[in-house]
Amino acid sequence: SEHDTLLEVSGLRAGYGRIVGVDDVSIAVRAGELVALLGANGAGKSTILRALSGMITPWSGSVVFDGRDVTGMRSDTLVRAGLVHVPEGRRVLARLTVEENLRLGAFSRRDRAGIAETMDQVFTRFERLAERRHQKAGTLSGGEQQMLVIGRALMSRPKLLLLDEPSLGLSPRLVHEVFELIRSLAADGQTVLLVEQNVVQGLKVADRGYVLTTGRVTSAGDSAKLLADPSLVRSYLGGQ
Ligand code: ATP
């Protein structure tokens, strides 16, 4: 129903200087859903996440989050509202420990007991981070750093988690692990908007997907429906 729509993006246009990144994009995410933004390199997926999280300012269109118009709001305001972005590139603070990195993710919270509780939950979910909690983040493997940036985002208890290509550059085994983790977060009720270049892999993990081509949505629907579309699958399998 309309009531459980957590995010509604209408007619979004955004870009960089004169470069149009996305043009007239409309998408929605309901509470509890795992939705994927799919498409080739440069299609505009990251631009959507950046415009949603305040990293760039939309040129036009509107973003309604949790019943409130948040178009053009600043990142820290959005984090407080429950919209948290994990950008591409897994930027951890290399010289801080795992625990210190996680603590930074709770910057918007004041409840010490609640923060400690969330950290326990993160360590329960990510056992390898728990084992390395006093280790400097720079010494972690790529897969562990990806877990850490996701864990850091969870420290703010987001209503909506925006994940940009968490599998990028990981070995096939770690890609599988990261997708399993995202699936388990979603199974526990976390709403996720996931950017993924690999259309087939993204659809296998998500409930629904939007396929972008040069800044516009060109296909959308339930993952099963999109996976059953031979022309779509063929056009993206060719490129991998
Ligand atoms: P990728 O997998 O490369 O992140 P994407 O689908 O996320 O692909 P975007 O990064 O959103 O695509 O790029 C959309 C368009 O905006 C592309 O034409 C890209 O070249 C351009 N673009 C992206 N970031 C910048 C930037 N920082 N400055 C200028 N142009 C940019």
In tens, the pLDDT along 27-82 reads 999 999 999 999 999 999 999 999 999 999 999 999 999 999 999 999 999 999 99
Q: pTM value?
A: 0.94
Residue nearest to atom 27 of ligand 1 (CA): 16
What atom of ligand 1 comes closest to residue 43's alpha carbon? Answer: 6
Strands 34-38 and 19-30: unpaired
Residue 237 confidence (pLDDT): 63
Give me the mean pLDDT over the 183-196 stretch.
Answer: 96
User: Mean of the pLDDT values across residues 102-128?
Assistant: 95
Q: Note the pLDDT of residue 239.
A: 46
| pLDDT(109) > 50 | yes
Task: Give yes or no for residue 183 having a pLDDT over 70.
Answer: yes
DSSP 110: -
Q: How confident is the model at residue 2 (pLDDT cuts 50, 70, 90)?
A: low
Could you give the CA distance from residue 115 to residue 113 in angstroms, rounded to a whole number?
Answer: 5
Which pLDDT score is estimated for 3? 60
Question: What is residue 51's predicted lDDT score, i.e. its pLDDT?
Answer: 97
Euclidean distance between CA atoms 223 and 53, whole angstroms: 25
Pocket of ligand 1 (CB under 6 A): 16, 19, 21, 39, 41-47, 197
Report the chain's mean pLDDT, rounded to a whole number. 93
Q: Calculate mean pLDDT across residues 169-187.
A: 92
Total residues found in the chain within this entry:
240
7 CB-contact burial (10 Å; exposed 0-12 / middle 13-18 / buried 19+): buried
How many CA atoms are closer than 13 Å to the CA of 68, on its beta-carbon side?
Answer: 9
Q: Are 26 and 180 in contact (CB under 8 A)?
A: no
Substitution candidate for ligand 1 out of 27, 38, 46 with most atoms within 8 A of CB: 46
